[in-house]
Amino acid sequence: MTDRVRVFLVDDHALFRSGVKAEMGDAVEVVGDAGDVATAIARIGETDPDVVILDVHLPGGGGAAVIEGVRREAAADPRFLALSVSDAADDVIGVIRAGARGYVTKTIAPGDLLSAIQRVHDGDAVFSPRLAGFVLDAFAGAPPAGALDPEIDQLTPREREVLRFIARGYTYKEAARELHIAVKTVETHVSSVLRKLQLTNRYELSRWAADRRFD
């Protein structure tokens, strides 16, 4: 395995960073880590990682600020996976809307974290059961009146079905088997939901994200 995924860790707890490093072992190449927003933006620009594992709460602006800073200043164009102890909806939605391609909680098993990293690296979206629950909650009910693009403001029945399986604790593979579709199709649905999540004007989602912007 010569081309291991190059990973960068951002978390303000040094103890947690070394724990994650130890857990992942040789499966990925950890190219660097940082404990605050400014250092993270600078070091990510220098090391040009494939995937950045990002804590939601950070001194100096939070995970969303790192994503925006890297997009704006750094030469690198990594993919972001949010990892947090928080299960508050505004935290999760804020970092996803800033551009993270996935969200998992810190209680995730090491093996699951590795496959989440791989999946984000491959350009797919990673939804924990909790994130799936938030999305189902947020997209419940009719789309807002006067929406510019009703396609983006609601989920298709199929996307809803896929999310419900994820919320029930099914892996993508198990959900694909239950729905008699290919795993790739499940991934497509989830990526499409992620896109809607980032673009929708649904009130709760834009408000959650706006709340996060000023911390």
Partner 1 sequence: MAEVPRSTSVRFARSESDRVLLGVAGGTGERIGVDPLVVRLAFVLLALAGGVGFVAYLVAVLASQEPEPGQDQQTRPAEGRRTVAFLLILAGALLLLRTAGLWLGDGVVWPAALAVFGSVVLWTRADVGRSRLSRLLSRSSTGTVRLVTGAVLIAVAIGLFAAIGRRSGLLANAPAAASAVVVVLVVVVGPWVTKVARQAREERRERIRSEERAAMAAHLHDSVLQTLALIQRAEDPRRMATLARSQERELRGWLYGRPATGGPSTLASAFEAMVAQVEQEHGMPVEAVMVGDAPLEDRTAGLVSAAREALVNAARHSGARTASLFVEVSPEGIEAFVRDQGSGFDPAEVATDRRGIADSIEGRIARAGGDVAITTAPGEGTEVRLRLPLPVSKEAP
- Interface residue list for partner 1 (CB under 8 A): 38, 85, 87-88, 107, 129-130, 132-133, 136-137, 140, 164, 167-170
B/e letters for 178-202, b = 16+ CB within 10 Å, e = fewer, are: ebebeeebbbbbbebbbebbbebeb
Nearer to partner 1, 51 or 138 (CB): 138
60: Cβ contacts below 8 Å, ≥ 6 apart: 36, 37, 38
- Torsions phi, psi for 29 (to 5 deg): -105, 110
Q: How far is the CB of 118 from partner 1 (least distance, A)?
A: 20
Nearer to partner 1, 30 or 93 (CB): 93
Q: How far is the CB of 185 from partner 1 (least distance, A)?
A: 21
Q: How far is the CB of 108 from partner 1 (least distance, A)?
A: 10
Q: How far is the CB of 41 from partner 1 (least distance, A)?
A: 13
Token output for 54: 């990002």
Nearer to partner 1, 48 or 112 (CB): 112
Report which of 16, 90, 26 is spatially closest to residue 53, judged by C-alpha positions.
16
179: Cβ contacts below 8 Å, ≥ 6 apart: 161, 162, 165, 186
Q: How far is the CB of 131 from partner 1 (least distance, A)?
A: 9
What is the distance of C-alpha 116 from the center of its chain?
Answer: 9
Q: Cβ distance 176 to 185 under 8 Å?
A: yes
Nearer to partner 1, 168 or 184 (CB): 168
Nearer to partner 1, 87 or 211 (CB): 87
Q: How far is the CB of 121 from partner 1 (least distance, A)?
A: 24
Beta strands in the chain (DSSP E): 6-10, 29-34, 51-54, 79-84, 102-105, 126-127
B/e letters for 17-28, b = 16+ CB within 10 Å, e = fewer, are: beebeeebeebb
Nearer to partner 1, 48 or 87 (CB): 87
